[in-house]
Amino acid sequence: MFYQFLQNGSKRSFDLSNTYEGQACFLLGSGPSLLDIDPWMMAEPGIVKIGMNNSALIIKPNYWISSDEPACFSREIIYDQSYWKFGGYSRCDSRIDGKPWKYYPSTFFYGVDQRFDYNNFLFKRKEFVWWKNTWFIALQFAYRLGFRTIYSIGSEFKISKESQYAFGSNLTDKEIDINALLYTQTIERMEKLKPHFEECKLRFVSCSKASPLADIFEYLDPEQAVIRCTTQVPIEQDPSSLPHSKTLHEKTRASTGNNQ
């Protein structure tokens, strides 16, 4: 369940479950390898991208999701109305340039549940399972939308003073240590979640070769993953040959008449 706040002060809720039933998506992390991905390739027809945090500065997503305060993200993302953005409900009143986040365009919010169970992680519930990490929120988000194959790119889960994010950053040693611990915990939890993913028919594929996830789950080159998604979309070779609606209607009427 997601919530949107309107300028008149009202709030509405809606459900996006199975909007993309059985389809595949790309989950964009902020690791340095995201810079190796051709953004034009990711704009091909049939590619649905879910961006996390500041990864949207490198490759523009179709959906964007976060769990931290909006001040942690580029204002370019907050203001951009060209894609849907999802944040934690507890952050909705946080202000950006004096305006509550909940009143920015194309912005929606989700609730969280502190409980975490490796056996029911993907089961549908009103809230998302929260484990202090946007990564797990994003996985649930993709599954709720109906995606059953998730291609992960830009997610090495490695960090150092010399190699931090795909976008500019200057983390302190303490912040690097915090992230390194979080990454280790994430990999451990992903390994424990693998049987649950299989039970729920969720195929997780790592497209980041340097990621430890590539040793736990299937690995696929990003270009091959794109090919798998784009080949499902027919390319119209000669749009000029498409019929005018009136002509098509007349042909349909004539055909119907001949069949009577």
Q: What is the DSSP letter of 27?
A: E
Collect all residues with Cβ–Cβ distance below 8 Å to 254 and sequence separation of at least 6. Answer: none
Neighbours of 95 (CB within 10 A): 11
Cut 0.85: pTM above it: yes
Percent above pLDDT 70 for the chain: 98
Buried b (16+ CB within 10 A) or exposed e, 112-128: beeeeeeeebbeeeeeb
What is the third-level CATH fold of 2-232? Answer: sialyltransferase cstii, chain A (3.90.1480)
Looking at the predicted structure, is the pLDDT value of residue 86 above 70? yes
The per-residue pLDDT for range 135-172, each reduced to its tens digit, is 999 999 999 999 999 999 999 988 777 777 878 777 88
Contact at 8 Å (CB) between 140 and 128? yes
Helices 173-199, 134-144: inter-axial angle, 10-degree rounding: 30
Looking at the predicted structure, is the pLDDT value of residue 75 above 80? yes
Query: For the chain, what are the domain ranges?
Result: 2-232
| Pairing label, strands 107-110, 63-65 | unpaired
The per-residue pLDDT for range 102-142, each reduced to its tens digit, is 999 999 999 998 877 899 999 988 899 998 889 999 999 99
Going by pLDDT thresholds of 50, 70 and 90, the confidence category of residue 82 is: very high
Contact at 8 Å (CB) between 87 and 141? no
Looking at the predicted structure, is the pLDDT value of residue 259 above 60? no
